Amino acid sequence: MTQRVALIGNPLKRRHSAVMHNAAFAAHGIDASFELRPIGPEDLAVFFAEARGDDWLGFGVTAPYKQSAMDHLDEIEAGAIAIGAVNNGVRHDNGSLVGFNTDASGFMAAVASTGVSVAGHGAVVVGAGGASRAVVWALLDAGVEAVLVANRTPERAREVAEHLSSYGTVEPAPLESPALAKALGSAAIVVNATTMGMTTDTVPFDVTVLPETALVFDLVYVPPDTPLVRSAAARGLAVCNGMEMLVRQGEIAFERWTGIGSTADVMRDALEAWIPDSETER
Ligand code: NAP
């Protein structure tokens, strides 16, 4: 019996998850397939009933269902509850479905792979959407001293700070503010959690004001080589891109589905060898 995993979302423009998970299934001789399942909101209940079947290992969830999927699960793990979103889940042998969030753990695994230590230091996250919440929670959970969240729409930065204030010190700020400039000057890690670099050819902050020891982390993975990644590397700073986070969060989910870990190299190689069909998939 071929086992199954599906990613639900709408629209599903990108095939990165299918490419890397199917490569890992093949590399480990597992008879399973990862499929993309674009569905409407009215199909969520039917999908999650199907995913309880014997042939299912688990599922992935992307926009716009990272919150609404939670209503269809039997259990949601603590990190996903804190963040307010699931992006993956596993089917247990009794057919129950457990949701969790690998954006947070994948982000921290990618940070750890750089060797930069962030615990006890300050962090800056630019952006206040869904990815920002996962990253801010992950940084607080990893023991950073404080996170400054800066956003184009300041109200959304305030919402993130309020949502996560029980997990540590989170300060909101507008872009171009003195508070952001000050925090950038002493941060151990600065994260781009906006779509800048993907939808625009701009950088979300000025890398020249960062300490020499700072890690610059760009969540954008299409393209992996954003203007921010290029300018931080040109300054000689430690850099991590969104492709590494995508791979690391995939590795964590894959281990939950199969019990097999250490698949990051297979997944990364598959993505690097893959030639996307269209500009939006790159
Ligand atoms: P989202 O919820 O749509 O939030 C987008 C954010 O970008 C908001 O803070 C928005 O500010 C800001 N923004 C958009 N255009 C801007 C501009 N021109 N100038 C300044 N700010 C701008 O998106 P998301 O789901 O959080 O995702 C954010 C990024 O992370 C995306 O590029 C996504 O692909 C990436 N991501 C990567 C991974 C990975 O594994 N590598 C995982 C998740 C997400 P306003 O609030 O002012 O609109």
Q: What is the pLDDT of residues 31-41, one digit of tens each?
A: 999 999 999 99
Dig out the tokens for 9 from the structure. 């979302």
Q: How far apart are CA 39 and CA 17, in angstroms?
A: 17
Q: What angle do CA 125, 256, 224 make, to 5 degrees?
A: 40
Give the chain's mean pLDDT. 97
Angstrom distances, CA of residue 229 to CA of 7, 188, 207, 250, 255: 28, 16, 10, 22, 29
Residue 254: CA count within 13 A, CB half-sphere: 31
Nearest-atom number in ligand 1 for the CA of 132 is: 26
66 is catalytic: yes
- Decide whether any atom of ligand 1 lies within 6 Å of the 107 Cβ: no
Q: How confident is the model at residue 277 (pLDDT cuts 50, 70, 90)?
A: confident
| Ligand 1 atom with least separation from CA of 198 | 32
Q: Report the pLDDT value the prediction gives residue 120, as an integer from 0 to 100.
A: 98
Which residues, including other chains, have CB under 8 Å from residue 237's CB and lie 6 or more apart?
A: 207, 210, 212, 214, 215, 216
* 121 band by pLDDT with thresholds 50, 70 and 90: very high
Does any ligand 1 atom lie closer than 6 A to the CB of residue 131? yes
Mean pLDDT of 136-147: 98
Distance CA 116, CA 139 (A): 13
The token duo for 232 is: 């931080």
Per-residue pLDDT reduced to its tens digit, 9-30? 999 999 999 999 999 999 999 9
Distance 196 CA to ligand 1 centre (A): 7
pLDDT at 96 over 80: yes
At 262, the pLDDT band (50, 70, 90 cuts) reads very high
Look at residue 279 and tell me whether its pLDDT is greater than 90. Answer: no
Query: Which position among 14, 66, 72, 133 bears the catalytic label?
Result: 66
Q: Is 245 in the pocket of ligand 1 (CB under 6 A)?
A: yes
Can you give the pTM of this predicted structure? 0.97
Query: From the CA of 261, how far away is ligand 1's center (Å)?
Result: 29
- Rounded distance from Cα 230 to ligand 1 centre (Å): 19
Q: Span 37-52, mean pLDDT?
A: 98
pLDDT at 180 over 90: yes
- How far is the C-alpha of 194 from the C-alpha of 209, rounded, in Å? 19
Are 148 and 98 contacting, i.e. CB atoms less than 8 angstroms apart? no
Mean pLDDT of the region 150-160: 98
Residue 65 tokens, joined: 């269902």
Instruction: Read off the pLDDT of each residue in 232-260 and give the average, rounded to a whole number.
Output: 98
Model confidence over 57-95: pLDDT tens digits?
999 999 999 999 999 999 999 999 999 999 999 999 999
Distance of alpha carbon 161 from alpha carbon 184, whole angstroms:
18
Question: How many angstroms does the Cα of residue 49 sit away from the middle of ligand 1?
Answer: 31
197 Cβ neighbours under 8 A, 6+ residues apart? 203, 204, 218, 220, 223, 226, 227, 228, 229
The residue ranges of DSSP E strands in the chain, in sequence order, are 3-9, 32-38, 56-61, 75-76, 88-91, 97-100, 122-126, 146-151, 170-174, 189-192, 215-218, 238-240
Q: What is the mean pLDDT of residues 123-144?
A: 97
Ligand 1 atom closest to residue 199's alpha carbon, by position in its atom list: 15
Percentage of the residues of the chain whose pLDDT score is greater than 70? 99
Closest ligand 1 atom to Cα of 244: 41
pLDDT in tens, 200-213: 999 999 999 999 99
Does the structure show a pLDDT above 80 at 239?
yes
pLDDT reported for residue 154: 97
What local confidence, expressed as pLDDT, does residue 255 receive?
Answer: 98
DSSP state of 171: E
103 in ligand 1 pocket by Cβ < 6 Å? yes
**In this predicted structure, what is the pLDDT of residue 278?**
73
188 lines ligand 1 (CB under 6 A): no
User: Does residue 281 have a pLDDT over 80?
Assistant: no
pLDDT of residue 107: 98
Q: Is 198 in the pocket of ligand 1 (CB under 6 A)?
A: yes
Q: Is the pLDDT at 248 greater than 90, yes or no?
A: yes
CB of 154 sitting under 6 A from ligand 1: no
